[in-house]
Amino acid sequence: MKIEEILKRCDHTLLRQDATSAEIVKLCDEGIRFGCASVCIPPCHVRGAKQYVGSRLPICTVIGFPNGYNTPNVKAFEAQDALRNGADEIDMVVNLSMVRDACWDDAYNEIRQVRTFTEGHILKVIIETCLLTEEEKRMMCSVVSASGADFIKTSTGFSTGGATREDVRLLRECCEAHVKVKASGGIKTLQDAEDFIALGADRLGTSRIVKLAAELEEKEVPAAPEENPTQTPAAPEGKTPDGPAGESGR
């Protein structure tokens, strides 16, 4: 797979707590330059980033992040605030306490409450696969499929693990066709990216793929020829470097 095709599926991501405005600008520049699906950034940077990129690049942000235990009303407010500030896409963390307690109706209602305020925008639901049993993952595929969300997403990248091939395969198999899969966390190589896409991921949450693309681009740039100040200049026609033709210097 061409790296350009992989980059089109990447949410170029920077969610570190101390990310600076300058780093966000750099992330946006890279996202535009490499044709990424979006940049995924902290909510506090959304307004400035949207003003900077305009319509050149979608802005994605996170709510209930990274732990997911905010109340549904708080998550709904976060989503509305992010959209007012210019976010195009929302990645929400599901309430994992509800999941572990098998409160499936509550988990569904929480997602529906956020969906109510995000109609017309892409909504991704992070289920933190590394913390769930296989049965819980299957149940969340059903919940997300019924909720009206656009994506199910593997991970925040802030817990005990990121996306795995097994989990991406499971989510794709268990979700209804209208729900897309986002693999996030631990995507370090182009092979990782290709594998996740082949297994059914439509989006990749990563910063590494852009770095690899930049490195490949640098390798492809031909090196400038070295100047040699001692090189003898070419002689004009009919002359040798040391005098008229036939009088080569010795």
Catalytic positions, written as ranges: 91, 153, 182
Specify the 3-state DSSP secondary structure of 192.
helix
> What sign for the dihedral angle of Cα 191, 62, 146, 72?
positive
Q: How far apart are CA 167 and CA 132, in angstroms?
A: 10
Q: How far apart are CA 94 and CA 214, in angstroms?
A: 34
Contact by Cβ (8 Å): 19, 46 = no
Q: How far apart are CA 43 and CA 3, in angstroms?
A: 29
